[in-house]
Structure 1
Amino acid sequence: MQTRPLRARTLQLNGAGLRPWHPRSFSLCRRPPCRAVVSLTSSAMDYSLLKQLLDQVEAYEQHQQGSHSTSNKLARFAAWLHAQAVLTPAAHEPHPDEMHRSHETVEVQISKLVVFMNRYARVYSRLALAGTPLLTIDDFAYLASLYRAQPLSKTELITRNVHEKASGTEVIKRLLANGLIAEQAHATDRRRKQLSVTPEGHAVLRQVVGRMTQASQLVAGDLNAEERQQLLYLLQRLDRFHLPIFLAPRPESFAELLQQWEPLRAAAAPEQ
């Protein structure tokens, strides 16, 4: 039986930034457009998946440029790609709450569920902190963030925890009153005060950090590792959008807030 010789086929990959594959060395070049020379044993081969992947790579690069991000790590691309997937939910019986959600937009549901998640986390954390001088998750967050970056001024500590000044000041007062943090003059500017964690505060942190880690695991719920990475990616994107708004001078009204920031949101949002 006579064997058929292998036939070479050329695949054009426009704008992909790939280098042509040599049949032996697979040497690559970086100047698109380029050609990948592939030896085939069959008369036809489906490259539709590869084409889709290249389109997604191009879209990801455009997204990175638009968001001024410089990260090109494969893990971040994988998380971004997963976030773009349009999943068609399987047919199921309506959940009791779906009757109430039917008139809500996606954005309303996102806002509501973010608030709910904050409440769940506060309940779990309050139980984890029971029997300690730390009353709320904010007390723990301030103490932990100060320990990692001490010394800090009051303003710096409040800003790190994305808190209103009045609310943050109350948290700091509680920590000072319980002797978990201390206030001292700045090393070079005696007019400024700085905060640091006391030995008592460090001991409390060691006491509760294990339970707070378990509370964080509970907050992540039954999401698998891939879903947790996807959620983290989306939350980090939202944080990058909202933090500059929070740190900017406060507008006088909601109308002024929308006038200042809504055009930026609309420009960054993907086409519907």
Structure 2
Amino acid sequence: MNFDLIKSVIELVQQFMKQNEGKSLYNNDLKGFTKWINISYKDGFESQDPDWIGKEFGRSSDSVITTLLIRMNRYAKSYSRSVISNSAFSSQDDFIYLINLKVLGTMSKMELIRCNLHEKSSGILIINRLLRNGWAAQTVVQKDKRKKVIQITEKGLAVLANSMDEIRMASKVVAGNLTHPEQMLLIAILSKLDEFHHSFYRMNLESRDLLDLAYKKLN
């Protein structure tokens, strides 16, 4: 049984009842609910373009998307600063790197740095801080003595566990007031964008070459 689907339907019904309460815009039956779904989601996401500041002066949707993504990044960073203020972490990158090591497992320094889309110099500073604090350890690969890998330690797992409640709280706040269906839609859209950009990022090109190549791909 698909419980996620059932949860999504229940949330939609609750949202329908809340919006329709006292207004009687739709019949409180399956027919009314279906009509509300079509208008609120199908038409809202596929047919009607939203308004934005500067639209009447020719500001493009590309410009708005870029601005909103930058703003969301800044909101997320501000909430992350709240997390580290009551923890042993120096920056949000500390716990993000540890989470990656916990979830994805052992990897080389460069694999960990690329996973977080950092420049090598910045990533090395973060990794060295994790090693210095004993939250991560570097070991030699037995099959290839020239290769070293990074893994999270018990101490790292412990310090991460101590902050996970606040990390989850910050993540929930970043997702804001989006409903479950809206979150699923946003994940799909952002995943599509991430796949597009990451295909170029892996090439390790200079910034200008990267921009030119990505632009040509779109035209």
Q: Paired residue for 1:234, among 189, 198, 209?
A: 189
Q: CA deviation at 1:156?
A: 1.0
Displacement of 1:136 in angstroms is: 2.1
Give the equivalent residue in structure 2 for 1:260: 213
Q: Which amino acid aligns with 1:231?
A: L
Match of 1:204 among 137, 145, 159: 159
Partner of 1:218: 173
How far 1:100 moved relative to its partner?
9.5
CA contact (8 A) 2:113 2:120 kept: yes
Aligned positions, number: 179
2:77 aligns with one of 90, 109, 122: 122
Q: Is the 8 A contact 1:122 1:136 kept in 2?
A: no
In the alignment, what sits opposite 2:66? 111
User: Matches of 1:153 and 1:133 in 2, distance apart?
Assistant: 24
Alignment of 1:1-272 (within 5 A): 85-87=46-48, 98=53, 102=57, 104-251=59-206, 254=208, 256-266=209-219
CA contact (8 A) 2:201 2:210 kept: no
Aligned equivalents of 2:84 and 2:212: distance in 1?
A: 42
Percent of residue pairs identical: 33
SS of corresponding position for 1:223: coil
Contact 1:158–1:164 under 8 Å retained in 2: yes
| Paired letter, 2:169 | Q
TM-superposed deviation, 1:259: 4.0
Summarize deviations over 1:91-138 as a string: whole Å, max 9, x none: xxxx9xx36994532111111111111111111011122232222222
Gaps of 5+ in 2: 1-40
Shift of the 148–82 alpha-carbon distance from structure 1 to 2, 3 Å rule, reads: farther
d(CA) in 2 for partners of 1:185 and 1:234?
A: 39
TM-score, normalization by structure 1 = 0.60
* Residues 150 and 258 of structure 1, relative CA distance in 2, 3 Å threshold: closer
Q: Which has the higher helix share?
A: 2
Aligned pair in 2 of structure 1 residues 101, 112: CA closer, same or farther (>3 Å)? Answer: farther
Q: Label 1:243 to 1:184 Cα distance change in 2 as closer, same or farther (>3 A).
A: same
SS of 1:191's equivalent in the other structure is strand
Structure 1 vs Structure 2 CA RMSD: 2.6
Q: Contact 1:126 / 1:135 at 8 angstroms: preserved in 2?
A: no
